[in-house]
Amino acid sequence: LRRNAGEPEFHQAAREVFESLGRVIARHPQYTQGSVLERICEPERQIIFRVPWTDDAGRVQINRGFRVEFNSALGPYKGGLRFHPTVTLGTVKFLGFEQIFKNALTGMPIGGGKGGSDFDPKGRSDAEIMRFCQSFMTELYRHIGEHTDVPAGDIGVGGREIGYLFGQYKRITNRYESGVLTGKGIGWGGSLVRTEAAGYGTVFFAEQMLATRGSGFDGARVLVSGSGNVALNAIEKARQLGGVVFACSDSSGVVYDRNGLDLDVLREVKETRRGRLADYAMLRGAASEYRAGGNIWSIAAETRIDVALPCATQNELDGDDAALLIENGVSAVAEGANMPSTPDAVRAFAETTVLFAPGKAANAGGVATSALEMQQNASRDSWSFEHTEDRLSDIMRGIHERCAETADEYGEPGNYVLGANIAGFSRVADAMLALGVI
Helix (H, G, I), strand (E, B) or coil at 261: coil
List interacting residues with ligand NDP (CB under 6 A): 80, 153-156, 198, 226-231, 250-252, 311-313, 316, 336-338, 363, 366
CA distance 426 to 410: 13
114 part of the active site: yes
Nearest to 204 by CA among 434, 14, 425, 389: 389
Determine how many CB atoms are found less than 10 A away from the CB of residue 131: 19
CA distance 430 to 353: 32
Out of 78, 93, 102, 114, which one is annotated catalytic? 114
E strands, 184-276, in order? 221-225, 244-249, 253-257
Rounded to a whole number of angstroms, the minimum distance from the CB of residue 430 to ligand NDP is 25
Q: Residue with CB nearest ligand NDP? A: 228
Rounded to a whole number of angstroms, the minimum distance from the CB of residue 142 to ligand NDP is 25
Closer residue to ligand NDP (CB): 99 or 208:
99
Nearest to 116 by CA among 54, 1, 99: 99
Closer residue to ligand NDP (CB): 69 or 250:
250
200 — phi, psi (to 5°)?
-60, -45
Rounded to a whole number of angstroms, the minimum distance from the CB of residue 25 to ligand NDP is 28
CA distance 402 to 396: 10
Rounded to a whole number of angstroms, the minimum distance from the CB of residue 354 to ligand NDP is 21
Is residue 389 within 8 A of residue 322, CB to CB? The reply is no
Is residue 41 within 8 A of residue 14, CB to CB? The reply is yes
Rounded to a whole number of angstroms, the minimum distance from the CB of residue 405 to ligand NDP is 23
Task: Output the CA angle 353-359-361, nearest 5 degrees.
Answer: 80
Closer residue to ligand NDP (CB): 73 or 337:
337
Closer residue to ligand NDP (CB): 14 or 432:
14
Closer residue to ligand NDP (CB): 154 or 318:
154
Catalytic residues: 114
